[in-house]
Amino acid sequence: GPGQKEPISPATSLPSSAGAMARAGSPEAPGSPGGSPKSREGAGEEYLVQIVKVPGMSLGLDFQSTPECMEIIEVKGGQIGEWNSTSFVKVAAGDRIIEVNGVRGPGRKLVEEIKKSSSLTMRVVKAPAGH
């Protein structure tokens, strides 16, 4: 009697713990679709970055000029890095600066505006998710 039951009960408890493990491992599955709408929502969203230039301090941006905008390649500290440390919306690689101080146009025009102005209000478009 009892000798037979004993091996069974550990065996029955095993599947349930395996099930719990599978359940514990599965949040990744719901988590990834759950995470992407949020980032997709943010894509294409515009935000403003306002900076008063500090003489001798770089903006800290690596970017390329395109016919429509300035595309950010990398943020390397500087004033944008400082902005990121205090701001809720972070300037990130892949984001596009589409307007500087009300000036829109090709990237080189925006760069000119950035160079000649002492304070900057930049309109930036969030990069699409998965960029």
Query: In this prediction, what percent of the chain has a pLDDT beyond 70?
Result: 65
- Virtual torsion, Cα 92, 119, 65, 109, nearest 10 deg: 150
pLDDT of 44 reads 80
Instruction: Convert the pLDDT of each residue in 8-20 to its tens digit.
Output: 555 555 555 555 5
Spatial contact of 120 and 51, defined as CB atoms under 8 Å apart: yes
Closest CA to 96 of 122, 114, 60: 122
pLDDT in tens, 47-91: 999 999 999 999 999 999 999 999 999 999 999 999 999 999 999
Q: How many helices (H) and strands (E) does the chain have?
A: 4, 6
Average pLDDT over the chain reads 79
Distances (CA, A) of 78 to 6, 7, 90: 68, 66, 14
Confidence of residue 39 (pLDDT cuts 50, 70, 90): very low
pLDDT at 41 > cutoff 90: no
Buried residues in 66-91 as b, exposed as e (16+ CB within 10 A): eeebbbbeebeeebbbebbeeeebeb
